[in-house]
Amino acid sequence: MSDITIMGYAAMSMGQTLKPFTYEPPKLGEHDVRVSVTHCGLCYTDIHGIENYYGVVTFPFVPGHEIVGYISEVGKAPFGLKVGDRVGIGWQGRSCGYCEWCMRGEDQLCLDIVDSGTWVPYGGFSSSVVVDSRFAYLLPDSMPSEVAAVLMCGGISVYSPLQMYAKQNLRKIGIIGIGGLGHLAIQFAHALDYDVTVISTSSGKKGEAFAFGADHFIVSDDRATLRQLEFNFDLLLCTAHGNIHWEPLLEILKKRGKIVMVGFPDITFNSTDLIAHELSMTGSFLGNRATMKEMLSFAQEHGIKPRIELMPMSEINDAIEKVKQNKARYRIVLVNDKI
Ligand SMILES: [Zn+2]
Ligand SMILES: [Zn+2]
């Protein structure tokens, strides 16, 4: 595919299946790079985006935010990158650089992120994307592209809070959900020396949870076991989405325990325990650029690897269906077969 038109897969309106979509390539800004996409992971937030769950998506919408490819063109003044470099890109493709959060190095909280914080003009289920070179991460040579792709969202989303709370000496963690995010969270938490309990809706993933590094495993509707674990956990990391029965989970947190969301679950619960036990509930969103670089090195050093199924990008709608039916084990990465 030439650079004259770009081919992507777009939802033309909310909730639609993706269709081939061509568009003119955007011009490069001074610090931008154009990246020819070779691989792009499929994350549940792509599906949420197509469904406009977050209320910020405009259509046509080309999802895809676990991007790996090669730099094909650079603007006048790229930061430390050149044509031919292999890079990874996540949800964030730029930031304003001068708001209070950017000034603190917390670019993922940039006040301008919704309007102008992603790639231009579309996501990674495309022949190419344009980003600010500061948000394209040079990859270690020995890291396979499909592994790097998944780390760009799944990896950073779980590593960022796990490394932060590890420094606060929170040690007993419950990881809720063992899907795309959860199976990485178990590996990172184990490598960060947490005592890891996996809480899953099904006992079918028990063996794999232990293989990923879990120390304990609980089925979430096993109320008898949960009751025995009352006031046991410093921290719960929720990697799941959809409906969750929260009250039995809040009961296993220590007083002043913390629950951190990285998936996008629905939240409705009786607030008694939250108040009476002084619990905190918070979110964690991606990670800053320094943490992204640290995460790539940490994953490499500790042999942390997502479990991946490769599929051709032209079969994207089949891949989405598989993820929706919870049949992906554990992450699908699409290989660009049309460029
Ligand atoms: Zn994602
Ligand atoms: Zn900013």
For residue 134, which ligand has an atom nearest its CA?
A: 2
pLDDT of residue 128 exceeding 90: yes
pTM for this model (two decimals)? 0.94
User: SS3 of 132, please?
Assistant: strand
CA distance 102 to 119: 17
Q: Which residue in 231, 269, 238, 220 sits closest to 253, CA to CA?
A: 231
Q: What is the DSSP string of 191-234?
A: HTT-EEEEEES-GGGHHHHHHHT-SEEEETT-HHHHHHTTT-EE
Nearest ligand for residue 117 CA = 2
**Distance in Å, CA 179 to ligand 2 centroid:** 31
Looking at the predicted structure, is the pLDDT value of residue 81 above 90?
yes
What is the model's pLDDT at position 2?
A: 46
pLDDT in tens, 25-46: 889 999 999 999 999 999 999 9
Share of the chain above pLDDT 90, in %: 84
Q: What is the pLDDT of residues 131-153, one digit of tens each?
A: 999 999 999 999 999 999 999 99
List the structure tokens of 291.
């943490």
Give the separation between CA 131 and CA 120, rounded to whole angstroms: 6
Distance 25 CA to ligand 1 centre (A): 24
Across 325-331, average pLDDT: 89
CA pseudo-torsion sign 168, 169, 175, 181: positive
Q: What distance in Å separates the CA atoms of residue 328 and residue 317, rounded to the nearest whole number?
A: 13
Nearest ligand for residue 110 CA: 2
Distance 159 CA to ligand 2 centre (A): 22
Over residues 69-85, the mean pLDDT reads: 97
Q: Do the Cβ atoms of 279 and 258 come closer than 8 Å?
A: yes
pLDDT mean over 252-258:
97
∠ CA 248-218-193 to the nearest 5 degrees? 105
Average pLDDT, the chain: 93
Separation of CA 248 and ligand 1 centre (Å): 28
Structure tokens at 120: 């231009």
* 113 alpha carbon, closest ligand: 2
Rounded CA-CA distance 291/284 in Å is 13
